[in-house]
Amino acid sequence: MFGELMPNFRIRLGSALMIVIVAVIVLLYLMLPYVREAYPSSTTTTSTEASTAPTTTTPLMNPQTLSIELDISDKEGVRDFGEIAVIEVDEPDALRFKLINWSAEGLRALSLNGRVDLVSEGTSYKVDMPCMLYFNASCARIMLLIPGYDGPLRIEPGRYSVRLEMRWSNAEGSGKVKLHISTRAYKASIIDLGYRIPEDTASWVMAEGSTRSHALLINRVEAAAEDSGYGEFTAYLWVFAPVEEEAVKAFKFEIKSLETGKVEHHLEIPVEKRNATYRVMLLIKAAPGEYRLSILQPINLSVDLRVK
């Protein structure tokens, strides 16, 4: 009799196990949406983060050129590139940002303005670049000269974060613009070093026409271009002014290319009289070529320079 019951018991046990297995499968199937919600897959998370996270790039160190690409699909807009470079300055220097090359794809018209912010711990500068690029569109800008854009901008020593913002309007079409912006777009610049007296000028060259009451001196008249692409000179001007003479408010300088006749930089420096004398020291930076450095006011003196 026991032998007869065993097959029936096994059949019933197998059926019960099948029912339990089916119930577990159904239960897991019903719970699957909640499991996915609580524990999303790593693939899904990575994809979402990649599409929303901002693109970061390592800032360039002391670049001669800033190269950027701007996608444009709307008629007007703004793009903040953030920090794109770092410029380190050990002594007073000059910068000038200028578009030197560009290309456009898919756009029939565009008006583009830019802005560069130079930020260090103690000093910051803002350089607006109106109408830096426009084609088949109008663009209006102020007529005042903008230091750092229309001419060199003097900057103090420091480590500067270079941040770039671009704004566009009157765009027609959809495409991209590639821009190449020089950070030192000048052949020669005059940098004011302030009221200083050089320690020893025995070996310096004195400009023709200098007298006992005024003189323009320069440490050398020929220099080789350094790694920066510029040769450097130090100039010193002093003007003796007795009490009865009319006060001098500013010195006016210019540096001109002797090869093209173009005035590369014109600089007006406010001055104060100390011990009956007005003084100023200058740093001259020039690319290879021949130049004439001149003081135009309150006296007229000049000296020729050459960079190899």
What digits encode the pLDDT tens for the residues 87-145? 999 999 999 999 999 999 999 999 999 999 999 998 999 999 999 999 999 999 988 99
Close Cβ partners of 105 (under 8 Å, ≥ 6 residues apart)? 175, 176, 177
What digits encode the pLDDT tens for the residues 260-300? 999 999 999 999 999 899 999 999 999 999 999 999 999 99
Q: How far apart are CA 69 and CA 81, in angstroms?
A: 10
Residue 154 is encoded by which pair of tokens? 């003097």
Give me the pLDDT at residue 246, please.
76
What digits encode the pLDDT tens for the residues 185-201? 999 999 999 988 898 99
Domain ranges across the chain? 2-52, 60-182, 188-307
The pTM for the full model equals 0.76
Distances (CA, A) of 209 to 43, 217, 273: 79, 11, 22
CATH T-level fold of 60-182: Jelly Rolls (2.60.120)
Q: How far apart are CA 308 and CA 289, in angstroms?
A: 7
Which has the closest alpha carbon to 149: 226, 97, 113? 97
What digits encode the pLDDT tens for the residues 197-219? 898 999 999 999 999 999 999 99
User: Is the model's pLDDT at 26 over the cut of 90?
Assistant: no
Other C-beta atoms closer than 10 Å to the C-beta of 261 total 8
Close Cβ partners of 31 (under 8 Å, ≥ 6 residues apart)? none
Which has the closest alpha carbon to 245: 299, 302, 300, 301? 299
| Contact between 36 and 44 (Cβ < 8 Å) | no
What digits encode the pLDDT tens for the residues 40-84? 333 322 222 322 233 456 889 999 999 999 999 999 999 999 999
The three-state secondary structure class of 194 is: strand
Q: How far apart are CA 140 and CA 148, in angstroms?
A: 19
Q: Pick left, alpha or beta for residue 173 (phi over 0 → left; psi -120 to 50 → alpha; otherwise beta).
A: left
CATH of the structural domain 188-307, one choice from 3.30.750.24, 2.60.40.1930, 2.60.40.10, 2.40.37.10: 2.60.40.1930
| Contact between 2 and 10 (Cβ < 8 Å) | no
